[in-house]
């Protein structure tokens, strides 16, 4: 990773650097951060000659060769000072709340509009709604492109930015063209590296945020962060990590609630952690406890399935969506816990700015 002395390279400097790395069979990926840009060398960057040629340029501070499977997303990366903004807030400065139904019912647009207004009223910053759905059986409702218009109409009516899941390039292009602010990569695609690359490549230039769900099948925290690295390395560092439960080990919960992974992630990566309690536990009655536990564990926000009348919902909504009233209570209590946990030195990350010069000691 190339760190220039100034915040960004000029076009002429970038051309010079690119020409050098290409001599070594590598290429440059520009990653635009809030405060500065960094320049990843894609390919084998370990050549000493390559590093000294680049470091010899007057406008280069250094070449970081962080030995990490996720050097861009690593807490020691120069991108650690990058801040993600959405819905009027900056992640890390206050908790982010994403809410809305699992699935938009294209036959009932008004139910979605009502829910959209209600979650906004309850304090949500981002409206979620599934247009295309990954369903366990091919016989279940798979989503409907018409729901994308309903999603965008709800965004116009409420002024809320919207999040929806994409599973393939066609969805990705349609969602970007429609103007969604946040893309979701779901649990099933969390290790679909070609999709992650495509999402990073097409969404990066537009500064779209990506909510990356933790794979149900994923193991250690590094595997999750490395999946986020695919998005960043392809050009989009605006990644929010979303634990949402792994393979069920407790009979009764839909998945194995994994909000306890939050501090491990926050220790290794600068990416915000936004927990989804709805898919973790899979039943509306368990959602508040899981949501509040996530806040205690240090989450930067929550993504919660919410519906004005869940009995009339489709997809996961009848079983796991909470009411906007419950959402409002969770948001209020989550804010209290946000303040409370700062007493234990685990407050918002903004209080721990990146060390000048970029590299922090390994955690």
Does the protein bind ligand PEP through residue 130 (CB under 6 A)?
yes
Cβ proximity to ligand PEP, 138 vs 353, nearer residue? 138
Does the protein bind ligand PEP through residue 301 (CB under 6 A)?
no
Does the protein bind ligand PEP through residue 254 (CB under 6 A)?
no
Cβ proximity to ligand PEP, 41 vs 102, nearer residue? 102
* Residue from 43, 109, 123, 134 in contact with ligand PEP (CB under 6 A): 134
CB of 130 to ligand PEP, least distance (A): 5
Does the protein bind ligand PEP through residue 257 (CB under 6 A)?
no
CB of 213 to ligand PEP, least distance (A): 4
Does the protein bind ligand PEP through residue 279 (CB under 6 A)?
yes
Contacted by 186, from Mn ion, ligand PEP, none: CB < 5 to 8 Å by type: ligand PEP
239-242 sheet: strands from edge to edge: 239-242, 209-213, 182-185, 162-165, 126-128, 96-100, 301-305, 274-275
Does the protein bind ligand PEP through residue 307 (CB under 6 A)?
no
Contacted by 82, from ligand PEP, Mn ion, none: CB < 5 to 8 Å by type: none
Does the protein bind ligand PEP through residue 213 (CB under 6 A)?
yes
Q: What string marks each residue from 27 to 66 as x (binds ligand PEP by CB under 6 A) or -?
A: ----------------------------------------
CB of 86 to ligand PEP, least distance (A): 17
Q: What string marks each residue from 227 to 246 as x (binds ligand PEP by CB under 6 A) or -?
A: -----------------x--
Cβ proximity to Mn ion, 103 vs 238, nearer residue? 103
CB of 241 to ligand PEP, least distance (A): 12
Does the protein bind ligand PEP through residue 102 (CB under 6 A)?
yes
Chain-centroid distance of CA 170 in Å reads 20
| Residues of this chain, 313-352, that bind ligand PEP according to CB under 6 A | 316
Q: Which positions lie near ligand PEP, rule CB under 6 A?
A: 102, 130, 134, 165, 186-187, 213, 244, 279, 316
């Amino acid at each position: 990773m190339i760190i220039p002395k100034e915040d960004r390279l000029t076009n002429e400097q970038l051309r010079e650097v690119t020409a050098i790395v290409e001599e070594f069979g590598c290429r440059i990926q520009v990653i635009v951060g809030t405060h500065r840009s960094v320049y990843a060398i894609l390919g084998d960057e370990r050549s000493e000659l390559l590093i000294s040629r680049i470091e010899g340029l007057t406008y280069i501070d250094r070449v970081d060769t962080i030995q990490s499977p996720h050097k861009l997303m690593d807490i020691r990366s120069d991108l650690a000072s990058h801040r993600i903004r959405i819905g009027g807030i900056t992640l890390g400065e206050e908790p982010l709340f994403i809410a809305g139904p699992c699935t938009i019912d294209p036959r009932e647009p008004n139910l979605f509009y009502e829910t959209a207004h209600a979650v906004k009223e309850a304090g949500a910053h981002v409206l979620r709604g599934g247009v295309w759905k990954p369903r366990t059986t091919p016989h279940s409702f798979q989503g409907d492109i018409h729901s994308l218009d309903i999603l965008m109409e709800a965004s116009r009516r409420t002024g809320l930015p919207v999040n929806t899941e994409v599973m393939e390039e066609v969805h990705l292009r349609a969602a970007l063209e429609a103007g969604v602010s946040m893309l979701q990569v779901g649990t099933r695609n969390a290790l679909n590296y070609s999709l992650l690359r495509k999402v990073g490549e097409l969404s990066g230039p537009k500064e779209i945020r990506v909510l990356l769900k933790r794979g149900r099948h994923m193991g250690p925290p590094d595997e999750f962060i490395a999946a986020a690295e695919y998005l960043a390395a392809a050009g989009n560092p605006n990644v929010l990590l979303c634990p949402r439960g792994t393979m069920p080990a407790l009979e009764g919960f839909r998945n194995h609630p994994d909000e306890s992974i939050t501090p491990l992630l926050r220790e290794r990566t600068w990416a915000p952690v936004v927990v989804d309690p709805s898919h973790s536990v899979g039943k509306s009655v368990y959602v508040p406890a899981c949501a509040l536990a996530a806040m205690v564990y240090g989450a930067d926000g929550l993504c919660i399935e919410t519906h004005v009348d869940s009995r009339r919902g489709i997809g996961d909504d009848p079983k796991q969506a909470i009411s906007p009233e419950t959402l409002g209570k969770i948001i209020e209590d989550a804010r209290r816990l946000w303040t409370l946990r700062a007493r234990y030195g685990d407050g918002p990350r903004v209080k721990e700015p990146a060390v000048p010069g970029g590299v922090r000691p390994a955690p």
